[in-house]
Amino acid sequence: MTRFEDIAGDLAHLAVEVPSWAYGNSGTRFKVFGSPGTPRTVEEKVADAAKVHEFTGLAPTVALHIPWDMTDDFGKLRAYAQDHGVVLGTINSNTFQDDDYKLGSLTHADPAVRRKAVQHNLDCVDVMDETGSRDLKIWLADGSNYPGQADMRARQDWLAEGLAEIYGRLGEHQRLVLEYKFFEPAFYHTDVPDWGTSYVHCLALGERATVCLDTGHHAPGTNIEFIVAQLLRLGKLGSFDFNSRFYADDDLIVGAADPFQLFRILVEVIRGGGYGPGSDVALMLDQCHNIEKKIPGQIRSVLNVQEMVARALLLDAEALAQARREGDVLAAHQVFMDAFYTDVRRDLAGWREERGLPADPMAAYLASGYQEQIEGDRIGGAQAGWN
């Protein structure tokens, strides 16, 4: 039987990248709600993200979105982040907001639009050179709404050509991470709709091209942990975008809708070598806090991941393997459920205190006065990003 003391050391390996855009105003298709204390600059986003790491010890890197987080001097921003105790992480390109991309970006029928989309991603690699980032993450809104609207075969060829040029620009220690999404905003067909399509393109590009799995980007009933196991088996799982969903790509706090699913996913991550000092798999949040306060939303999220990692590490692998060998279906299931139902909250509180962190990061943040400070200071400015 695995005890919490047995896994305490392994928990120190957990690092969850937080996204800069989680700290700005966001909403549904119908309304974006403003909130007090919204960052007006990319520096203020980084400062907010640093607070999550300060109180949890779990979020040492911050992902940026270009052009939302454009600045005149990324080297200076890199130093600013380090001064606040965090590092700049994944660079996310954006080819879905300009009017030119109405009918696609890397898969647009017009070569001039494809050229623009490729160049934007090349510019993002330039940013990576300045920030020291390893990963360029590409998500495409490309697709079509009606049968006959687009040449699906040609668009795959254009996509392959564009990705190849972007991949060729990467430095020796940089990666291209290709995200997939089965629908939205395109409703008839999407150019990168599933892990298989992303995998095929990454396989053609080379070993430094990997798949990003967003946990919200799947049809209801999809066995996401199977996809995780398969991509780890193939050596092509590059990163996660953790969030939670009830219906579609809801981008809610990870673990909120189905904590058991998060547990099952993390069991496969750990089993497949996707967790720990020898792993290249990046764990990242991709969430939009529509009605809740932003920093507490991110704190709750990384704590949810930590709790499920702890439970997954507690899984009695030896007992599980024995039950499987003996074909004891119910015994195997019981071992699995015993780990999931283990309440690790008190143990985690003690674990944090031993490392100089607050036992209750949420309570400590709320008592710190930082939320009141930013709500009082950040008045009269426009949020950084989207607008």
Query: What's the whole-number mean pLDDT along residues 110-114?
Result: 98
Residue type, position 16, single letter: V
Distance CA 345, CA 304 (A): 10
Distance CA 61, CA 238 (A): 16
pLDDT digits (tens, 9 = 90+) for 62-80: 999 999 999 999 999 999 9
The burial class, CB within 10 Å (0-12 / 13-18 / 19+), for 34 is exposed
Distance CA 13, CA 273 (A): 13
For residue 57, the SS3 value is: coil
Q: Report whether 109 contacts 151 (CB < 8 A).
A: yes
* Per-residue pLDDT at 290 exceeds 60: yes
Contacts of residue 100, defined as CB under 8 A and 6 or more positions apart, other chains included, come to 108, 113, 116
How much of the chain, in percent, has pLDDT values that exceed 90? 92
* Per-residue pLDDT at 282 exceeds 80: yes
Q: Report whether 32 contacts 323 (CB < 8 A).
A: no
pLDDT value, residue 387? 54
Distance CA 225, CA 160 (A): 27
Could you give all domains of the chain from N- to C-terminal order, each with its CATH number?
Answer: 4-377 (3.20.20.150)
Distance CA 56, CA 62 (A): 14
pLDDT digits (tens, 9 = 90+) for 188-236: 999 999 999 999 999 999 999 999 999 999 999 999 999 999 999 999 9
DSSP summary character for residue 244: B
Confidence of residue 27 (pLDDT cuts 50, 70, 90): confident
Residue type, position 208, single letter: R
Contacts of residue 350, defined as CB under 8 A and 6 or more positions apart, other chains included, come to 359
Query: What's the whole-number mean pLDDT along residues 313-335?
Result: 98
Q: Report whether 285 contacts 242 (CB < 8 A).
A: yes
Number of Cβ within 10 Å of residue 27's Cβ equals 14
Distance CA 98, CA 247 (A): 28
Distance CA 4, CA 12 (A): 13
- Phi, psi angle pair for 89, to nearest 5°: -115, -130
The burial class, CB within 10 Å (0-12 / 13-18 / 19+), for 346 is exposed
Q: Report whether 44 contacts 384 (CB < 8 A).
A: yes
E strands, the chain, in order: 16-19, 61-65, 87-92, 135-138, 143-144, 175-179, 189-190, 209-214, 237-242, 282-285
Distance CA 193, CA 207 (A): 21
Tell me the CA distances in angstroms from 190 to 194, 315, 321, one per residue in order. Answer: 9, 38, 40
- Global pTM reads 0.96
Q: What pairing do the DSSP bridges indicate for beta strands 282-285 and 175-179?
A: unpaired
Distance CA 165, CA 200 (A): 16
Per the listing, tokens 């979105």 go with 65
